[in-house]
Homo-oligomer: A and B are copies of this chain.
């Protein structure tokens, strides 16, 4: 577990909700949360985040609404077919609290100054807010300790196109800005998040937990429905929670080499792909100077069990 101060950027979303649960359960020192359009519009994501924090007893964490549109386009409307119309599988939570006045990008810049050199960034939605923060404060990379993202795919197919993962293709320009900035970036992509799963047994055990766990279990019905067609059995991928666990250090990857990463921002068939240079794979990725991108390529088994255990500790 990391004692560092965190800025968490999300598009809450069912697996974002699980991630909030993990962060709270693990006692992560989350100084602020920004929302971004992705699974649903940024305003709706902030609403879900606030309401989930209230269920989890953490109304003290400030939530900022972030970018509605990607850097060079218009928000596409989200993924109701994955996360339900309200983003959390149709689950209705008591409406508690309001977002702060600053934008998510402003919050990130403020926190980076307040916790200079210490702030860690975990971003599990499109990277628009991070790119906007880089524009607001060009010194941001030197103020922030590191960035961990859920997004992209190296050796496995995308989930929106054959090569593009949703968070990246929702704002490729922003993603490229984040990879190009002079800070350490850890990419937790589909290579590993598709291997991190909740099975039906996990969902049932969650259902028998506390109020927070029950709410999360209720959301998973919709999410399981979507993933059953992709995975061939009632289950789901644990995209965002896995990124959080790797960020917090509660899960140690078994293969996570430093490799060059860039994003395809063309309008061709590769748009939104994370181009991860794995040409050293045949010799075990020897250390090379100057690399600051880490791609998580393999994880140990058992993350579903570990996540469940954490979530069952929630109020």
Contacts and interface: CB of A to CB of B under 8 A. Distances in A.
A20 B37 CA distance: 56
Contacts of A232: 282-284
A107 to B, nearest CB: 32
A155 interface: yes
Nearest to A259: B162
Contact of A278 (B157, B230, B231, B281): B157
Interface in A107-165: 155-159, 162-163
Interface residues of A, number: 30
A90 interface: no
Contacts of A262: 269
Contacts of A231: 282-283
B279 A269 contact: no
A201 B241 CA distance: 48
A265 B268 contact: yes
A266 interface: yes
A276 interface: yes
A262 to B, nearest CB: 6
Contacts of A277: 157, 162
A5 interface: no
A111 to B, nearest CB: 32
Given A262-B269, A266-B270, A270-B270, A159 B279 contact: yes
Q: Which 9 A-B pairs have the closest CB atoms?
A: A270-B270, A266-B268, A162-B277, A232-B283, A157-B278, A266-B266, A157-B279, A264-B270, A155-B155
A212 interface: no
11 contacts: A156-B281, A163-B273, A231-B282, A232-B284, A262-B269, A264-B268, A265-B268, A268-B270, A269-B270, A270-B270, A270-B273
Nearest to A270: B270
Nearest to A284: B232
Contacts of A221: none
Contact of A279 (B155, B158, B270, B281): B158
A82 to B, nearest CB: 14
A260 interface: yes
Most chain B beta carbons < 10 A, residue from A155, A265, A269:
A269
Contacts of A79: none
Contact of A282 (B163, B230, B268, B275): B230
Interface in A161-183: 162-163
A190 to B, nearest CB: 10
A271 to B, nearest CB: 8
